[in-house]
Structure 1
Amino acid sequence: MLQLTHDTEQLAREIAARVGRRPDDIIRATLEREAQALGVFGDLPVRHRMTVEQMTAIGEKVSALPLLDTSSPKEVLDDLHQP
């Protein structure tokens, strides 16, 4: 287990809080970027970013799904606030 300096840990926590992630995720992502830049992959999973076309295809697929709840937004809110 690594022992991080107080300053390093605080920096990881500040960045994590700002982006809404865990400090561990921030440190891992940074190490993965550094490993990729250095050509050190080991057993790290290779991550590929989705293209715009892939994201659009997913959006179209989800939009084509049937609507299971036909309640209006007002009805949903009213149901949430009923005792």
Structure 2
Amino acid sequence: MEISGIVSALVIGIVIGVLGRLVVPGRQRIGVLWTIAVGIVAAFVGTALAAALGVADTDGVDWIEWLVQIALAAAGVAALSRVKALR
């Protein structure tokens, strides 16, 4: 992977994290850096999952891949927020 691919993956991960946080209702007890980290992980895992399902490369915008990534980010944000609330 080239450096431009890594940078774009990080930027997309940030966007995915923010969208995932917006999907989760209520107040989340995690900071911005945790949101970004969850988004980056969700972007990479979501891309791998979409590739395994065969929906990663489509004509035009990969909407299914985006939905998988956002769902993973939302689940990650909710889980991390719950763990932080228990402390």
Could you tell me the TM-score, scaled by structure 2's length?
0.32
Q: Which has the larger radius of gyration?
A: 1
Q: Which has the higher contact order (CA 8 A, sep 6+)?
A: 2
TM-score (norm 1): 0.33
